[in-house]
Amino acid sequence: MSTVREPSSRRWWALALIAAAQFMVIMDTSIIGVALPRIQEELGFSQENLSWVFNAYVVAFGGLLLLGGRLSDLLGARRVFAAGWVVLLAGSVLAGAAGQVWVELTGRAVQGVGAALIAPSALTLLMMLFGGEPKELGKALALYGAAAPAGGTAGVFLGGVITEYLSWPWVFYLNVPIALIALAATRALMPAGTSRRGSTDLVGAITVTLGLAVAVYAVVRAPEAGWGSAETIIGLGAAVVLLAVFLFLQAKRRNPLMRLGIFRTSNLGAANLAQVLLGGAWIPMWFFLNLYLQQVLGLGAFASGAALLPMTTVIMLVMIVFAPRLAARFGPQPMVVAGLVVLAAGLGWLALARPNGNFWVDVLPASIVAATGMALAFIPSLGTAISSARPEEGGLASGIVNTSYQVGSALGLAAMTAVAAGFGADQIGDVDTLTGGLSAAFLGAAGIAVVGTIVAAVTLKRHTAEKADMSAEPASVV
């Protein structure tokens, strides 16, 4: 991957499109949150299987990100970026038009395939445009990084507005005009890049995606089937075998989907592990917080979405204004550790939510604390993971770090869905029991953040601020 020198104004317009792409692919994980009760009612999802509206997207997204990164390196980032928007558009139409559970899940999976093409190629394009100028790269990465969690929380608000005043299919149809605009802008703004010869390792892509899907399915089904049941044991065993086959293929192939030697790079593996645990703690939080707002506090779709707007504001403010300055002063490792500690504290606070609580006491302060922690940890771990790779493996590094976050999100949500169900979150008619189940999920997510804190403290090597990473200059909106 080589850097491309474009006129300054054009580069920042291109960055706006890249950030919008990241905003959209993450928003599509969360925009369905407020609409879930309506989708459940109209399509007939069970409470346990409702999380698959989220997981169908995330498993396809996370499982195919490595392939998306590889295709970006081989075929050219702009070409793959445009193809991703086409696939996302098709999946959005299918999901919005669904009248049955299997059609809805198919549409969500197709959306995930499109996102898996968009996300790594977008990050590769960013590196092509800004990689040659570290100071501007810091600003670009801060804006790009802020787009991800901001898309997650903004999606909840938009989902609430759309569900309340239109209908749930429009949370998917919203992607159609945006995809058409993005396709028109891609050719005008993005550098063409070059293609090169090499294999795509479709077998590797299939085994890793199936492995993740089977693992998530087994964990989601475990509370109902039993953790010691043959179904659960066979499912988890099959997932382990599939992922082991994937790693074996990567070690043996001349042109693997993921060169395992890349993890010998200092801090790359540690930063990706931090992203896994960050996603595993953060995504269950917004999923179950949305259920608390609607099913316990009784807020409508619009009110539930609006209730999470303060989180979006905090994330944008901390990521763009404060996180780059703090990273420049202290370096990535202390930032990641501190962010995970604060996230764990916010989640622990949310676990105290009451059946007869209210937004101002039980949600607002704790959610702001959690959002601050997320914002502090995300940019340093992302920047470390991307900057650690060789320039020619930018697409692969982008795919790996995005995969790490999405895999953590899917497995974290699956595990916390199991925990919540085990403690009564499926008892919608019993508010006390339901709240206990949701609180257990928040506490479990806090535990994931605590594990992330310990892992980051032990595995991430501490560098001086001068050597830290790409966030050496405060970010600003250009």
* pLDDT tens digits, one per residue of 67-120: 887 788 788 889 999 999 999 999 999 999 998 888 999 999 999 999 989 988
Residue 466 confidence class, pLDDT cut points 50, 70, 90 = very low
Average pLDDT on 136-157 reads 74
pLDDT at 156 over 70: yes
Task: Break the chain into its structural domains and give their ranges.
Answer: 8-200+257-467, 201-256
Q: Which residues contact 58 (CB under 8 A, 6 or more apart)?
A: 29, 112, 406, 409, 410, 413
What is residue 360's predicted lDDT score, i.e. its pLDDT? 94
Confidence category of residue 471, pLDDT binned at 50, 70, 90 = very low
pLDDT at 319 over 60: yes
Mean pLDDT of the chain: 83
HEC per residue, 278-344: HHHHHHHHHHHHHHHHHHHCCCCHHHHHHHCHHHHHHHHHHHHHHHHHHHHHHCHHHHHHHHHHHHH
pLDDT > 70? residue 228:
yes
Per-residue confidence band for 6, with pLDDT thresholds at 50, 70 and 90: low
What is the topology classification, in CATH, of domain 8-200+257-467? Growth Hormone; Chain: A; (1.20.1250)
Report helix, strand and coil shares of the chain as percent, to nearest 5.
80, 0, 20
Cα–Cα distance measured from residue 374 to residue 474, given in angstroms and rounded to the nearest whole number = 18
DSSP three-state, residue 406? helix
Question: Which region among 8-17, 64-73, 215-224 has the lowest average model confidence (pLDDT)?
Answer: 215-224
The burial of 351, by beta-carbon neighbours within 10 Å (0-12 exposed, 13-18 middle, 19 or more buried), is given as middle
Q: What is the C-alpha to C-alpha distance for residues 284 and 413, in angstroms, rounded to an integer? A: 5
pLDDT in the model for residue 203: 84
Torsion 88-122-71-210 (CA) sign: negative
pLDDT greater than 50 at residue 464 = no
At 367, the amino acid letter reads: S
Residue 65's pLDDT band, with cuts at 50, 70 and 90, is: confident
Q: Which range is least confidently modeled, 58-67, 293-302, 329-338? A: 58-67
DSSP alpha helices (H): ranges in 166-228?
170-173, 175-189, 202-225
